[in-house]
């Protein structure tokens, strides 16, 4: 009887181990079996991802995501969603990757795995054109800002003592600054320059920039080692082939694909 129990326990433990192993390593296999990778992004954050005059989804992130999918040998399904729902969709398994100008932070790294960087950006502090009170990030103490909810920009503003109002789009953010409803906003330097290229008469200015560039990486669910390695290789290949540089210059006017 004892021998039978030992054998049954060994079988059960073996099944459990196999189940755990399969669950932790089959994401890439599943994607390749389906032939499709699902990528989420905002779709209204130019020049990262936006709709052109023909309503085609374009932008640095959109094109980079397509290039990564091609390197993986699969088709791509791009889902547009508000910033505040991107990570929830990743956690629930609706999306395989989020390619949306996401900056790496240690806090985020506790919940998600991140790819190697595919872009490097500085953060700009933007104020109304006639604002002379805010000239540095330290001047945000006691002031109001507008930024995407739970974004690194909102977190940074709050770390300097600002009260941050949540918004959904860059246009909405800038309108709040121009109208004086908030004192400032923080955003990617390249996104601010792109906004000014479309709205050259906008009454805003960059008051300050961060000294160091942030790392823009691709978050994915933790433990998907094979998927991470495949995405990292795709990014490395796209960088060495000059694709990321070409896309960066196309959409930003400068190369942000390297340090």
168-185 per-position pLDDT tens digit = 888 999 999 999 999 999
Average pLDDT over residues 27-34: 96
Strand partners, 220: 113
The predicted pLDDT at position 168 comes to 83
Contacts 24+ apart (CB under 8 A), 140-145: 140/183, 140/184, 143/183, 143/184, 144/182, 144/183, 144/184, 145/182, 145/183, 145/184, 145/185, 145/186
Whole-model pTM?
A: 0.78
3-class state of residue 190 by DSSP: helix
Q: Where are the beta strands (DSSP E) in 176-229?
A: 184-188, 204-209, 214-216, 219-221
Question: pLDDT, tens digit, for every residue of 76-103?
Answer: 999 999 998 999 999 999 999 999 999 9
Could you give the count of Cα atoms lying within 13 Å of 75 in the half-sphere of its Cβ?
5
Domains along the chain with CATH numbers: 29-119+215-252 (3.40.190.10), 123-211 (3.40.190.10)
């Amino acid at each position: 009887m004892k021998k039978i129990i030992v054998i049954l326990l060994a079988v059960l433990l073996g099944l459990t181990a196999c189940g755990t192993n399969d669950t932790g390593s089959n994401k890439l296999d599943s994607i390749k079996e389906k032939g499709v990778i699902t990528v989420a992004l905002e779709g209204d954050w130019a020049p990262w991802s936006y709709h052109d005059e023909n309503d085609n989804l374009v932008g640095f992130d959109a094109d980079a995501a397509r290039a990564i999918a091609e390197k993986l040998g699969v088709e791509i399904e791009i889902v547009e969603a508000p910033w505040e729902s991107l990570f929830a969709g990743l956690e629930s398994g609706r999306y395989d990757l989020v390619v949306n100008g996401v900056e790496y932070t240690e806090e985020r790294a506790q919940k998600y795995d991140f790819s190697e960087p595919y872009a490097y950006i500085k953060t700009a502090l933007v104020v109304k054109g006639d604002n002379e009170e805010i000239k540095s990030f330290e001047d945000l103490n006691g002031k109001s800002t507008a930024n995407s909810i739970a974004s690194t920009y909102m977190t940074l503003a709050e770390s300097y003592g600002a009260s941050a109002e949540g918004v959904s789009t860059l246009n909405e953010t800038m309108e709040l600054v121009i109208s004086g409803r908030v004192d400032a906003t923080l955003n990617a330097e390249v996104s601010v320059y792109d906004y000014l290229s479309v709205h050259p008469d906008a009454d805003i200015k960059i008051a300050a920039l961060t000294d160091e560039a942030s790392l823009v990486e691709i978050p994915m669910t933790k433990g998907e080692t094979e998927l991470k390695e495949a995405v990292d290789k795709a990014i490395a290949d796209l960088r060495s082939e000059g694709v990321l540089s070409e896309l960066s210059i196309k959409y930003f006017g400068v190369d942000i694909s390297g340090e």
